[in-house]
Amino acid sequence: MLNTQTRYAIDPATAKTLDTDQLRDHFHVDGLFADGEIKLIYSHYDRLILGSAVPGAGTLTLDKVAETGTATFLERREMAVLNVGGTGTVITGGKVYTLEKGEVVYIGMGAGPVAFAGAGRFYILSAPAHRTCPTRLIKLSDARRVEMGSAEAANERVILQFLHPEVAESCQLLMGYTQFAEGSVWNTMPAHTHDRRMEAYLYFDMPADRRVFHIMGEPTQTRHIVMANEEAVISPPWSVHAGAGTGSYTFCWAMAGDNVDFTDMDMVPMEALR
């Protein structure tokens, strides 16, 4: 079963007039990871698609998606799949890739249909591509590991970079995830924007009663969206993206846009935030 939604881009002047429900309608993504379903959110910010596939006892196949206007989903797109569940398989291009929890498979443009099977809970990311990069499995041991923060600042964390120029080649997708030490709750503070790329977060590995207050908006017009486990949020290029949780958590970050320079950020001084 395929379920698709489209989210349209809006400007910051409009965004600052929205109430809580309107903000959530534009930027918050819930209802992911339904058994027996592929769910895709087509964002007009850099044409990023995010979504999920949970095959359960069967097999789910992602092939034609009307919103892309192409014969097959990956005809002019690249794709990354992160497994946040049990052991599962991704089948594409005549090859079977077995993913343990926390592993990623990158799938290059033109690979054809993609099938999902097993106990995996698959988080899907896709962006337009201009060339074919090699399809490959990226294990946890392959990821670039960056340790940051401190317990004293409540932001001790490790950033695991999977789609990164030093790890795996891609056209424009950058992705990985950030894990927080017990007792650390703040992500991406001091905050930043990057007008050349959009970003999306998936918050996961949280108990049912835990929440993250995701901060978004222009630096002088911040708003928050309350996030639960396995919920995603779309961050426009003009928006900060940060957050604080009621406990530790993990979040997958993904970017698409003009470059693949992870460090291309426009930092926001703390005194500038409102």
List, as residue ranges, the binding site for Zn(2+).
192, 194, 199, 241
CB 156 within 8 A of CB 171: no
Identify the domain containing residue 264 by its residue range: 2-272
pTM of the predicted model over 0.75: yes
In this prediction, residue 126 carries a pLDDT of: 98
45, amino acid identity? Y
What does the pLDDT look like over 70-116, one tens digit per residue? 999 999 999 999 999 999 999 999 999 999 999 999 999 999 999 99
Q: 46 is written with which tokens? A: 């850099």
Q: State the total domains in the chain.
A: 1
pLDDT by residue for the chain (274 residues), tens only, comes to 899 999 999 999 999 999 999 999 999 999 999 999 999 999 999 999 999 999 999 999 999 999 999 999 999 999 999 999 999 999 999 999 999 999 999 999 999 999 999 999 999 999 999 999 999 999 999 999 999 999 999 999 999 999 999 999 999 999 999 999 999 999 989 999 998 999 999 999 999 999 999 999 999 999 999 999 999 999 999 999 999 999 999 999 999 998 888 888 888 999 999 9
Phi–psi pair at 20, nearest 5 degrees: -60, -50
Percent of the chain with pLDDT over 70: 100
Phi–psi pair at 271, nearest 5 degrees: -70, -15
Q: What is the CATH number of the domain that holds 35?
A: 2.60.120.10
CB 182 within 8 A of CB 205: no
Q: 153 is written with which tokens? A: 């600042």
List, as residue ranges, the binding site.
192, 194, 199, 241
